Amino acid sequence: MKYATIPNTNIKVSKICLGSMTWGNQNTEAEGHEQMDFALDQGVNFIDTAELYPVPATAEISGRTSKIIGTWLQKRGNRDKVVIASKIAGGGDYTAHIRTTGFSPSAIKEAIDLELERLQTDYIDVYQLHWPERDTNRFGIRDFKLDEIWKDNFNEILHSLDKELKVGRIRNIGISNENSWGTMRYLEESKKHNLPRVVTIQNAYSLLTRTFETDLAEVSLRENVGLLAYSPMAFGVLSGKYIRGNALDNARLKLFPRFARYSGEQATNATSKYLKIAEDNNLSLAQMSLAFVNQQPFVTSTIIGATNLNQLKDNIESVNLVLSDEILSQIDEVHKEIPNPAP
């Protein structure tokens, strides 16, 4: 395994982070425990969850993923061997079953209270804001339109998180599904008012979604905020199984066809071209896709998810693959032809 240090901390994390959002829905508790056991044995020490998980989110199963992690921690007694990241859900119709108070001081306290209980631990290593409260172009929306009256609350949020940091219930803070303006506003507030500084940003990044490179990559590198890259496999599309037609019945897009962000005509065309590059170089498309993300200088850790151990093993092994300049050049040629087909 390879490791990186989370910026502005002394926390060393594996370059592969184990994502968990299928546990409690597509995967059972036993399967979640099995995945964590296997990943830890392979050197993975970083696990990402959220109060929203599993996804698709419903009131009946909300928080079940973190409970599965909690029972594993309790049974194994190995809390000191893993770094755990979690998230507070932002506002939205699809999270009203959790709360409707956004990132208010009471909401942050309540969210951490409940998550610590689910995880059966007394601290969370990296606590993240799952998405901005304000309306902005997140979750696959390309264009920004200013159509709301919103009160800037960056300072209040950081003060609330600072209280939790001071009592040790969280150790570091991060953001997720955020853009450049929001990231810089958090950094500005922390610097101006001596408030805690975000150390990570968790955004989508893959061969099909390289929008992070347009401006956030510069922010990440110059301001030292590490990317925790999620959906590096584009909901499994970049395994090639949907193009080949050999996806199993429990594959994510077969179970939940509404998650079609990476399945449009242009994305499918780009995926076919990336598949050819992989095959011409005797690589699996999955490992090539993950290796591409792993190699980016702004990526602290790549979040992978799997529904079985064979997938998990293949994904973890991608950390040992280093793509040549020639392969990277071929990838960039496809990107020039079909840039960011999935926003």
What are the pLDDT digits (tens) for 300-309? 999 999 999 9
Better-predicted residue by pLDDT, 100 or 121 = 121
Categorize the per-residue pLDDT at 244 as very low, low, confident or very high, splitting at 50, 70 and 90.
Answer: confident
Task: Check residue 201 and give its pLDDT.
Answer: 98
Q: Are 310 and 24 in contact (CB under 8 A)?
A: no
Kindly report which listed range (40-49, 84-93, 291-300) carries the lowest average pLDDT score: 84-93
For residue 83, the SS3 value is strand
pLDDT confidence of 246, banded at 50, 70, 90?
A: low
Q: Is the pLDDT of residue 259 over 90?
A: no
Average pLDDT of the segment spanning 262-279: 95
- Of the residues 3, 53, 127, 242, only one is catalytic, namely 53
> Distance between CA atoms of 234 and 241, rounded to whole angstroms?
12
Q: What gap in Å lies between CA 324 and CA 246, rounded to an integer?
A: 29
- In this predicted structure, the answer to whether residue 332 has a pLDDT above a threshold of 80 is yes
53 is catalytic: yes
Are 20 and 48 in contact, with CB atoms under 8 Å apart?
A: yes
Q: In this predicted structure, what is the pLDDT of residue 151?
A: 86
Angle separating helix axes 309-317 and 285-294, nearest 10 degrees: 50
Q: Locate the domains of the chain by residue range.
A: 3-236+289-323
Q: Is 271 helix (H, G, I), strand (E, B) or coil?
A: helix
Cα–Cα distance, 302 to 1 (Å, whole number): 12
What mean pLDDT comes out for the span 50-76? Answer: 96
pLDDT (average), residues 287-298: 98
Cα–Cα distance, 299 to 217 (Å, whole number): 9
Q: Left if phi > 0, otherwise alpha if psi is -120 to 50, otherwise beta: which for 2? A: beta
Mean pLDDT within 175-198: 97
Over residues 281-287, the mean pLDDT reads 96
Lowest mean pLDDT among 143-147, 260-264, 288-292: 143-147
What CATH number belongs to 3-236+289-323? 3.20.20.100
d(CA 90, CA 172): 18
